Amino acid sequence: MSPTITIAEPVSPTKELDFLGNLAFGRKQLSLSFQVFSKQYSQPELIKLAQAATDTSALHSSQISGLQRDTLRDPSPKCLVCLGLTNVAIARSQGIKGLPKGKKLPANLEHLWKDKQYMRNADGTPMGPQDMFAAFAGLTDLGISTAKNIPVRKEKAVAKALGKYMRINLAKLDIDYVSEITALKKKSKTIEALVTNKPVSGAAIVQDLLNLAKLIEQGEEDVWGIAISPNLV
């Protein structure tokens, strides 16, 4: 049987009950969420995590690529359940409270789950298997928006998280932000304040986001999704 090809304009389930439109919306939103999440890993690393979370080989390179490129039209239940279990296992291993009992990831893979961002529901909770299915099927809206805005009440948390993210990723590129701060400041207006844990307004961060992303050789959407968005919930 050939895969189902759904051609329709994406429609959020919160706006209108539109079978094909909601399906198209769901596939797109899960792909966007997965794109940001998977940027933290290579394919072999993500496959290794999934194996540790499920004790089997349930996630494959073709599925990862399909979700990233929004070409996986009909993922199997096995794929979505595996992704949900892996996602919750990451959160559980980090000590996130209120999760159902289940497996934690091993200490020898700590570099793959510690301080990593997991995929989240609209309320900020980790997405489990049921959430993955509901999101992909367009039964729920994850609240993903291309509009970037950091409320004043969230500025402190965002600046702190983004500063840590910048320090870690500059170090990965062998850039010493202390000795090279003068050069970094020529490329970004907010980098000095961020890496030294000083207050930075949300508007300034949004305006400077592309420059910050270039400093650590990442995409603007990746920095937003991994370092900023989780702190806006």
Kindly report, residue by residue over 111-124, the tens digit of the pLDDT. 999 989 899 998 88
Query: How many Å apart are CA 134 and CA 153, to the nearest integer?
Result: 30
The phi and psi torsions of 68 (rounded to 5 degrees) equal -65, -35
Q: Which of 12-21, 47-56, 71-80 has the lowest mean pLDDT?
A: 12-21
Could you say which DSSP state residue 70 is in?
T
Rounded CA-CA distance 66/162 in Å is 29
Q: Nearest CA to 25 among 38, 35, 15? A: 15
What are residue 70's phi and psi, to 5 degrees? 60, 40
What are 166-204's pLDDT values in tens digits?
Answer: 999 999 999 999 999 999 999 999 999 999 999 999 999
- When pLDDT is averaged across residues 142-151 and rounded to a whole number, the result is 81
In the prediction, which pLDDT does 146 show? 66
DSSP letter (8 states) at residue 225: I
pLDDT(2) > 60: no
